[in-house]
């Protein structure tokens, strides 16, 4: 099995943990400015999922509208207007899609170029997959750091706790 399969299963689990934790936080607290994040905690979580969704489209070789076009700007506004429970549901769908993508990838596919319109350097599909994982991890850490600093109890989402969560009860 390819290690990226395990890492994407972990990413899905960790994203679910952060959304579950935020479900119990007052919305006003999630909408406060949070220095060190992507604006607010809500903004950060939405951005995390938006990036995962966009990279998934690029990895599937689905076209992206120019970010400067009015249609793209309207699509982005509509996307970001959804509430966090909607993003939590989307996160689960995206997690399954990445797991399926990685499960069927070949070595040749990983080496294929991944054109990313906002970068002026070459990436491979493997680079794109790794970028998604590191990007999401960065934002989960930001959200949990802010919540912890504000007194919330946050779970430990180290990889080993993901492994532990998969053990049969009592093991």
Average pLDDT, the chain: 94
Residue 69 has pLDDT above 90, yes or no: no
Tokens of 18: 């952060």
- Looking at 52-61, 71-80, 97-106, 154-163, which range is the least confident one? 71-80
- Could you tell me the pTM of the whole model? 0.94
Note the maximum CA span of the chain.
55
Residue 13 — very low, low, confident or very high, per pLDDT cuts 50/70/90?
A: very high
Residue 168 resides in a domain: no
Q: Which CATH number is 156's domain given?
A: 1.20.120.450
Residue 68 has pLDDT above 80, yes or no: no
Domain that holds residue 153: 3-163
| Range of 6-10, 74-78, 116-120 with top mean pLDDT | 6-10
pLDDT of the residue at 1: 55
Residue 170 resides in a domain: no
Residue 9 resides in a domain: yes
Residue 169 has pLDDT above 90, yes or no: no
Could you give the CA distance from residue 149 to residue 167 in angstroms, rounded to a whole number? 31
Residue 11 has pLDDT above 90, yes or no: yes
In total, how many domains does the chain have?
1
Percent of the chain's residues with pLDDT above 90: 88
Kindly give, in sequence order, each residue whose CB lies less than 8 Å from that of residue 72, ignoring residues fewer than 6 positions away. Answer: 64, 65, 66
Residue 153 resides in a domain: yes
pLDDT of the residue at 171: 61
Residue 171 resides in a domain: no
Residue 134 resides in a domain: yes
């Amino acid at each position: 099995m390819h290690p990226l399969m395990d890492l994407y299963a972990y990413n899905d689990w960790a994203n679910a943990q952060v959304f579950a934790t935020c479900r119990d936080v007052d919305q006003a607290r999630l909408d406060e400015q949070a220095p060190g994040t992507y604006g607010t905690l809500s903004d950060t979580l939405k951005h995390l999922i938006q990036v995962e969704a966009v990279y998934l489209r690029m990895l599937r070789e689905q076209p992206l509208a120019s970010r400067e076009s009015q249609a793209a700007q309207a699509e982005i506004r509509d996307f970001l207007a959804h509430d966090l429970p909607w993003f939590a549901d989307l996160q689960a769908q995206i997690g399954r899609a990445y797991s399926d993508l990685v499960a069927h990838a070949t070595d040749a596919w990983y080496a294929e170029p991944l054109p990313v319109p906002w970068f002026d350097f070459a990436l491979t599909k493997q680079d794109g997959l790794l970028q998604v994982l590191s990007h999401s991890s960065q934002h989960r850490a930001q959200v949990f750091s802010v919540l912890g600093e504000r007194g919330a109890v946050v779970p430990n989402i180290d990889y080993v706790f993901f492994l532990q969560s998969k053990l049969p009860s009592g093991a």
